[in-house]
Amino acid sequence: MDRRMPCDAVQNVSISQAGRQVCRFVRCESSYVFRGASQSELRVDCSSRGERAFGGRGRAAGVVGGHCLLLKPWETHGGWKPGERQGRFFWAQFSCDPVMDEFLLHQASELTIIHASQLELRTIERSSDDPLVIPRLFRPKRIYKMLGLFEELLETCKKPKGNFRFHATILLAETLRLISDDWLEHTKLDTAAPTSYRTYRRMISYLNDYYTEDIPKQNLEHFMDRKYEYLCHVFKKYANTNIQQYVHQLRTQRAKYLLHHTSKSVKSIAQEVGYPDPFHFSRIFKKIEGVAPQHYRDNGVHNHQQHAPGSP
């Protein structure tokens, strides 16, 4: 009888992006003895050698060396032979926000690995992250690299110093990424970004660099080596706005900073962000922000401080 747990479900985990803590490392240990447990956090187990018995969810499995097992919060689990040596294994506890979603393996073809969205735009506040898909039970191809990450994670926890929690979270995230990448390769899912998406990202980089200048369509066509009509179609498809509107948003974003943090005149700021005519600048600014630049300066700092973190 095959005692190994079938890989019948995969998990969706959101991993930390700069400035937002969505994956929090809790602890890491290495052991030869598997004791019964039920924890409030997620847990990833990895057997380095030998076979380890596991029981949970009303069924049992044998986890052989090199396999990783992901346990959900409060999932009861324990060994077949509690208190006995069952091969060395590592385990790490962590939590994530948003919480994990579970789906069946046959739904894997429905996954969207590359999430092309407005989040690419510099003017959009990043409030979500792309998902990271983690199999419940899987043996990564790069097992020795993964075990090395667990060893480093364990050492970081044993001798805490400096930014050890941040370091541990980075190591955990890299471990989960390795498991996910190897699983995606194993399932042979098409995870390549389409050519149009790469064009879109390149176009955003160009606009982010030159938004304060006049950008004739001929210049954009020459830089992108594509017809302007095609570029407009691609940009609208992914950004849900047009190129000119995005340029206005970039200029307004810069103008808001200058209004808040400098004493420059509205006319000077207009010219600095790319509007020779200050009246045209004021019309665009009011259309986007709902108030004129001077009104924003007079009242914006007060409102910003009023709603600042920690303010009453």
Per-residue pLDDT tens, the chain, 312 aa: give them.
223 333 333 343 433 333 333 455 566 666 544 444 545 556 666 766 555 545 544 455 556 667 887 877 776 665 545 555 555 677 788 777 666 776 655 555 555 555 555 567 777 765 555 667 788 778 888 888 988 888 898 888 888 888 888 898 889 889 888 988 888 888 777 667 788 889 999 999 999 999 999 999 999 999 999 999 999 999 999 888 999 999 999 999 999 999 999 999 999 999 999 999 999 999 999 999 999 999 999 986 444 444 433 333
Question: For the chain, how long is the longest CA-to-CA vector?
Answer: 80
Query: How far lies 219's CA from each of 202, 238, 249, in Å?
Result: 14, 21, 20
The structural domains of the chain, ordered by start, are 9-187 (2.60.120.280), 195-306 (1.10.10.60)
Global confidence as pTM: 0.68
Q: What are phi and psi of 126, to 5 degrees?
A: -80, 110
CA atoms of 134 and 146, how far apart (whole Å)? 14
CA atoms of 34 and 32, how far apart (whole Å)? 7
Q: What are phi and psi of 269, to 5 degrees?
A: -65, -40
Strands 9-14 and 131-135: antiparallel
Decide: 277 and 270 in contact? Cβ < 8 Å. yes
- Strands, DSSP E only, in 58-167? 59-64, 68-71, 77-78, 85-96, 101-104, 131-135, 137-138
Place of tokens 């849900």: 240
Place of tokens 């060395």: 88
For residue 266, the one-letter residue type is V
What confidence score (pLDDT) does residue 192 get?
Answer: 72
What confidence score (pLDDT) does residue 70 get?
Answer: 80
- What are the tokens at 312? 């009453």
